Structure 1
Amino acid sequence: MWLLSVVDSGEEGSGVLFEHHHTWIVGQTELLVEALAGGADLRAEVPSCPGWSLGALLRHIGGGHRWAAEVVRTRATGWLPDGIVRDVAGDDGGRVPGGWLLDGAHELAAALAEAGPDAPVWTPFELGGMPFWARRFAHETVIHRADAMLAAGVPFEVATEVAVDAMDEWMQLDAHPVHFDLRPEKRAVLGAGRTIALVAAEMPAEMPAEMRAEMPAEMPAEMPAEMRAEMPAEMPAEMPAEMPARLDGQGWFVDLTGEVNTWRRGGGPAAVTVQAPLQDLLLMVYRRRTPDDMIITGDEEILRHWLSHVAFG
């Protein structure tokens, strides 16, 4: 199911985000190659991709970039043979094919940049046009970079901006009605009272009680003199160009109570709430890690039942 994705026709389809996405394809591949440059063993098993070696995973990544580049470059009007993506057999006795991986990422990014977000192109189930390919392969690369880091025993980190967008894309994908046609058994996740809140640990659901207890009953009318003394004499004329990315809400809220599942940014009372670092939440929904060491409150069975029925990427 690696090809399924959806991009809204609004902000996600804008030229700015489209440019971010095809730039991320290269950036994530550069991070992958850099992390493996010390001489990773291509024969190492990839725990999150059973049956694959690290070498097979890298061939899948590079093959996927080249296949998608051909789709974009030719403005494909239908499915193109994807043997280069699925046939991952090869020699795992050599070195990490860093140059080959980077060439494929640059090839796809250049094809997307040349096409632009509005060029017509085939997508599975008519989802999203050119922005589909940019966003899908940006996050395909992110998640497979995580797979490679796991196989190589290297820590995985992802920028907040990238992780937030990857979560949004995953939520849109998971909520698409086509999944119920392709996998009718997924309807088992739906039911009365089934709601899930995923809260990034970097943004607590509410202020802890001990912090509230330490706050004054009333805030002072003006800033105390000692605080004013610590502030710079002049405030900057404008905010720095590079500000840390933030979530618009406190996380993601999944509603399984209807005929299909829906989602929104933010929090709220839920049957089960999961709190963990953002990238751990991302790896959890992609089933690259379990929620075992996360903070879970409420009906944990709803969470685990839901996770058992979301298998893509």
Structure 2
Amino acid sequence: MSRNEPHARPGVVLRGAFDHAQYCAELLAEGERFRAVLRGADLTAKVPSCPDWTLADLARHLGEAHRWAGALVSSRATGPIDEAAIPGVAGPDDDTPQALDAWLAEGTERTVAALREAGPDTAVWSWSTDHRAGFWARRMVYETVVHRADAALATGADYEVRPESAADAVEEWLQLCALPVMAERWAARADGLFGPGRTLHLHATDAPPALHAEWVLDLTGDRLTHRRAHEKATTALRAPLTDLLLALYGRRSPTDDRIELLGDRALFDHWLTYASFV
């Protein structure tokens, strides 16, 4: 999402599965996991899922995102802030892997400190309808989760997300996709996506029953609604939960042997084209 997006209309609060303290702790942990993938890697390597970026570019993007969110929270911003005004946002002056690692760690730690000091309900601008510091804690966790996948794809590293977090990440993405501000932003991509009989069923095949890790994306109206349910749909995607999350973010092909796609493949492809920050 553009960091210069105009102030979204206030309204829906996007509730997650965890409390604020857990999101803060998980952001620190995910930041460390991301940095661990980069250690010893060729930082000039291309990132297949972000083909215009090298690993170093990916790292700087994530570090900038953390610092930007932290600056919003620490300043109690009432609107978007100029990224150029944030100290250290452009990255370390020294281009060594060690300097990049330290810069990433410092940015994550500063952001988590700001989030913890603010608490979840402090008023802070966001491009969503949820204008609380808690929005940024959850958003930065899953920004990091997805970009860790990008780093793993570039390096061949193992990648896994614990089931509770993966299910919450899927839910968060669908909550974001259902916002009016996103429908407005993506309107040019929507032609032919919405209409009668258009539904997608996402089914995690390995999740504990208590997670209710099944979703129906209802595209039969003029914008997305979604629900946790087991229902027949025009298109169904069945996969382990981590792979389901990656497929939904366009990081795993629906033709991958870990994924089973049933029904109208074109509908899922259109959804992926529509629901993308790119």
TM-score by length of structure 1 reads 0.78
Match of 1:210 in 2: none
Partner of 1:45: 46
Alignment-derived partner of residue 190 in structure 1: 194
Asked if structure 2 preserves the Cα contact closer than 8 Å seen for 1:252 and 1:264, the reply is: yes
Match of residue 78 from structure 2: 77
For 1:153-302, what aligned pairs fall within 5 Å after superposition? 153-188=156-191, 189-203=193-207, 247-293=210-256, 294-302=259-267
C-alpha displacement at 1:311, in angstroms?
A: 1.1
Superposition deviation, residue 44 in structure 1: 0.6
Query: What whole-Å deviation, never above 9, does each CA across 1:270-293 have from its counterpart, x for those lacking one?
Result: 111110111111111111121012
User: Residue 216 of structure 2: SS of its match in structure 1?
Assistant: strand
Matched, 1:32 2:34: yes
The aligned residue for residue 230 of structure 1 is none
Question: Matched residue of 1:308: which SS?
Answer: helix
* Matched pairs, number: 269
Q: Which residue of 2 aligns with 1:306?
A: 271
**Could you tell me which amino acid in structure 1 is paired with residue 180 of structure 2?**
P
Give the secondary-structure state (helix, strand or coil) at the position aligned to 1:121. Answer: coil
User: 2: distance between equivalents of 1:7 and 1:251?
Assistant: 26
Please tell me whether the aligned partners of residues 119 and 133 of structure 2 are also in contact (alpha carbons under 8 angstroms). yes
Against the structure 1 CA distance between its residues 305 and 11, is the aligned structure 2 distance closer, same or farther, given a 3 Å change threshold? closer
1:152 and 2:117 are equivalent in the alignment? no
5+ residue gaps, structure 2, are none
Residue identity opposite 1:272 in structure 2: T
- Name the Cα RMSD after superposition: 2.7
Match of 1:137 among 131, 137, 140: 140
Shift of 1:53: 0.8
Using the TM superposition, give the Cα deviation of residue 264 of structure 1 relative to its aligned residue in structure 2, in angstroms. 0.7
C-alpha contact 2:49 2:150 (8 A) present in aligned 1: yes
Unaligned segments of structure 1, at least 5 residues? 204-244
**Is the partner of 1:275 in helix, strand or coil?**
strand
The percent of aligned pairs where both chains have the same amino acid is 39
Q: Is the 8 A contact 2:189 2:273 kept in 1?
A: no
- Once the two structures are overlaid, the 10-residue window that deviates more, 16-25 or 147-156, is 16-25
1:111-164 alpha-carbon deviations (Å, 9 max, x no partner): 100001121111125424111111111100111111111112211111111111
Q: Could you list the per-position Cα deviations for residues 152-194 of structure 1 after superposition, in whole angstroms to 9, with x for gaps in the alignment?
A: 2211111111111110000011111222222222332101100
CA–CA separation in structure 1 for the residues paired with 2:263 and 2:275? 20
Q: What letter corresponds to residue 124 of structure 1 in structure 2?
A: W
- Choose from 16, 19, 24 the match for 1:17: 19
Higher relative contact order (CA 8 A, sep 6+): 1
Change (3 A) 1:182 1:9: closer
